[in-house]
Amino acid sequence: MNGPPRPSIPRLAVRGLRGAHFGPVGFELPPGGLIFVQGPSGAGKSRLLRAIADLDPSEGEVRLDGTAREAVPAARWRRLVGLLPAEPQWWAPRVRDHFDPQPAAAELDALGLDAGILDRPVGGLSSGERQRLALLRLLANRPRVLLLDEPTANLDPANTRRVEGLIAGQRKRDGVGVIWVGHQPDQRERIRPDRVLELGGARRAAA
């Protein structure tokens, strides 16, 4: 005999999270869900993402698929809850030195990048190329949640659409949850978030 339906476990649950210059913040992100975070400069948007990724000190509760952040080794947590900062870090001279395994040509092509970019020096890349490559580097970890800090800020319209499409595919195919910090109302409408979280003002649900 079938019992009552089991309640679904959020992909990410945040309760009473407070850090430097933001909070407390609480929300639940379902598998494949998307929360768009907006607010004025200095409202704590980037700090919120860093706190969720356990990169900055914070108070409150963060759970991934029901498991508390404190129960997961920090390095593994940061692979499962992957942060794409506004200015990604690079530590080796060539692009390919940052990838293991190397991205397939189809993965590069999906973001408008040529396979030859892997042999180029990082210092010769444009800001938009670095931004797209950093996203591919992050996705190679197969995260369950993506924390995106203005991931298309340095991109032209065509590459912005490519990134939006790639993220939509990750959500639909793998159930990846996404927290997307942005400013542009037209982008917010295109990516159709489940919720808009306003920092530095009243929180409201997305239309």
- Helix/strand/coil (H/E/C) assignment for every residue in 113-177: CCHHHHHCEHHHCCHHHHHHHHHHHHHCCCCCEEEEECCCCCCCHHHHHHHHHHHHHHHHHHCCE
Q: How many Å separate Cα 180 from the centre of its chain?
A: 6
136 near 107, Cβ under 8 Å?
Answer: yes
**Which residue in the block uniquely carries the two structure tokens 């990838």?**
99
Q: What pLDDT band is residue 200 in, cutting at 50, 70 and 90?
A: confident
Q: Report pLDDT for 78.
A: 97
Q: Report pLDDT for 46.
A: 95
Q: What pLDDT band is residue 132 in, cutting at 50, 70 and 90?
A: very high
- The residue ranges of every structural domain in the chain are 12-91+143-198
Rounded average pLDDT over 46-59: 96
Q: Report pLDDT for 58.
A: 96
Q: What pLDDT band is residue 6 in, cutting at 50, 70 and 90?
A: low
Fold of the domain spanning 12-91+143-198: Rossmann fold (3.40.50)
Q: Report pLDDT for 3.
A: 53
| Partners of 62 in beta bridges | 14
Q: Report pLDDT for 207.
A: 28
Rounded average pLDDT over 138-156: 96
Q: Is it the case that residue 206 has pLDDT exceeding 90?
A: no
> What are the tokens at 83?
């942060």
* Dihedrals phi, psi of 150, to nearest 5 degrees: 50, 60
List of residues 6+ apart from 170 with CB closer than 8 A: 139, 146, 176, 178
Q: Report pLDDT for 21.
A: 85
**Which residue in the block uniquely carries the two structure tokens 């109302």?**
185
Q: What pLDDT band is residue 8 in, cutting at 50, 70 and 90?
A: confident
Q: Is it the case that residue 96 has pLDDT exceeding 90?
A: yes
Rounded to whole angstroms, the Cα distance separating 25 from 197 reads 9
Q: Is it the case that residue 140 has pLDDT exceeding 70?
A: yes
- Average pLDDT score, the chain: 92
Q: Report pLDDT for 205.
A: 34
In the chain the first and final C-alpha atoms are separated, in Å, by: 40
76 near 51, Cβ under 8 Å?
Answer: no
182 secondary structure, DSSP code: -
> For 61-85, what is each residue's pLDDT tens digit?
999 999 999 999 999 999 999 999 9
Q: Is it the case that residue 202 has pLDDT exceeding 50?
A: no
